[in-house]
Chain A
Amino acid sequence: MFQIQSTNINDLPIKDSSHPPQAGAAVTFEGRVRNHNEGHNVTSLEYQCYESMAIKEGNKILKETFEKFNIINAICVHREGHLQISDIAVWIKVYSKHRKEAFEACQYIIDKVKLRVPIWKKEHYIDKDPEWVACHRCMEHSHG
């Protein structure tokens, strides 16, 4: 399940959902707002998303994850809105029988989310005007 959330992920109820009894591993990834980027001090981040397509593309990525890795369940939640330093921007949880698949699937999900899901971030700085972050790696890879 992939979802977009406009409220603080720190309060996400799904984080307390029950652990599948057949899962020997649960891997969690938290992508948080950091206070620097490319040599500049960042004060906050705004995330804007094309919600209907983000959910569609995010769920496609999760479907691929199930096809590629032997996992039991995977959840990804991405924020939209204005985030402060250390706020969780993206949260991923993967359950599997064994740890190898959980780590690999989690890596796959975050890599593909960053590459394909229509979400944009505007960085606010101490020392210059806010600007939209360009995903430079997207120039090297194809979407879809």
Chain B
Amino acid sequence: MKINVIYFAALREQAKKSQEFVETTSTNASELMLELYEKYHFTLDQTMLKVAINDEYSSPSTLLKENDTIAFIPPVAGG
């Protein structure tokens, strides 16, 4: 299925892009994260990432749907 992936901070720098449509057989966010780690060799510890699907924090086990927008959220540092 086609998923819109958005990258931020260190992930954006290492993927060298801010966003992409990914065609994937991954069924949930956690599987997609592994797939993208293999593709881009992100150096950030995966356990430090939160998942956001369609602008809402979500569990990594959340099942993905066609055209979902997913972001893997590095530790935030606003304020």
Contact = CB atoms under 8 A, between A and B. Distances in A.
A66 interface: no
A94 B50 CA distance: 30
Task: Tell me if A's interface is mostly helix, strand, loop or mixed.
Answer: mixed
A112 B74 CA distance: 16
A104 B1 CA distance: 47
Contacts of B48: 134, 139
Interface size class of A (residues with CB under 8 A): 20 to 34
A12 interface: no
Interface residues of B, number: 19
Interface stretch (A19-27, A42-50, A67-75, A95-103): A42-50
A138 B50 CA distance: 10
B79 A50 contact: no
A48 B9 contact: yes
A114 B6 CA distance: 21
Contacts, number: 77
Contacts of A128: none
Of B8, B12, B71, B76, which is in contact with the most chain A CB atoms at under 10 Å from its CB?
B76
Nearest to A116: B76
A139 B76 contact: no
Nearest to B9: A120
Given A118-B76, A134-B48, 20 more contacts: A48-B8, A48-B9, A50-B71, A53-B55, A53-B71, A54-B78, A57-B57, A110-B79, A114-B77, A114-B79, A115-B76, A118-B52, A118-B71, A118-B78, A120-B8, A132-B9, A132-B77, A135-B75, A139-B75, A143-B50
